[in-house]
Amino acid sequence: MKILLLGANGQVGKELTRHLSSVGELVAFARADLDITNHAAVAQAVADVAPHIIVNAAAYTGVDKAEDEQALAYAINAEAVAHLAQCARTAKAWLIHYSTDYVFDGSKSSAYLETDATNPVNVYGASKNAGEEAICEAACQHLIFRTTWVIGKDGHNFAKTMLRLACERDALNVVSDQHGVPTSPSLITSVTIDAVKAIQNNAAWPSGIYHLVPDGTSSWHEVAQTLIGFAASQQVALNAQAADIHPISTADYPTAAQRPMNSQLDTGKLSAHLSFDLPHWKDDFLAVARDIIEELKAA
């Protein structure tokens, strides 16, 4: 089975590149090799590879920058995705695509279901929502995985920023009133592989949207405290300890783009098809933290 991966150089893409070859003949393109906004080049790549499954990990992810780069965000997250979905339909290939909790406005008091109405509050979320809608309208065979707060060992992310700041400063302020969970590229990849195996075994999951996050709930403040507490236990030299991370409100930390206050996603639909149990967010996150800290010590 041939798998075509786009966006191989991102946080999720790098992890997918490391492991997807275990379940198929993998052809992976980083952005430098294939720009997803180059529709002709994408169509040619799909024709040349003739994949059974297309995995799209390419995305515009600059949440705040998107407020000033709306055209670029839509070009990557919506228009390119719409074209890719048409290519998948023509090739009779499955399309696996990754989306975000930012398609919701965060006003719900409980975890979001896949069937809840979307209402993005920023340009990034709106562009990702448009991409989801385009895939559904194309009517290709597809799996859309919505996830939250992606933090991995590759690239720049919240965990690496917190570790750097905790080494430089005596105290940190972190938002405590936005609720959700960090999700590792490793978990996203494990779920993707499970879905690919189901397709291979002629037991494909129903086309549609699935929420993909670990169990439990948290806040950015708790995630930061968990990280710094773990780093201290691993003998990382820190100026700020977990007790020095102070909770603040979203209003105290203004950003260009509004964020959903509630990013909790219900995973019941995914769990009904998955061959393994989703981990608790702390177990998933601390596995990533361990990798980041080992790399920090080796530097």
Q: To the nearest 10°, the Cα dihedral for 132, 136, 142, 147?
A: 20
Interatomic CA distance for residues 119 and 104, integer angstroms: 5
Q: Catalytic one among 60, 74, 124, 210?
A: 124
Beta bridge partners of 99: 146
- Tokens 């361990």 correspond to 290
Q: Indicate the angle between helix axes 185-200 and 281-298, nearest 10 degrees.
A: 120
Q: How many CB atoms lie within 10 A of CB 84?
A: 27
Please check whether residue 4 is in contact with residue 53, taking contact to mean a CB–CB distance below 8 angstroms: yes
Please check whether residue 158 is in contact with residue 172, taking contact to mean a CB–CB distance below 8 angstroms: no
Interatomic CA distance for residues 257 and 67, integer angstroms: 6
74 is catalytic: no
State the catalytic residues: 124
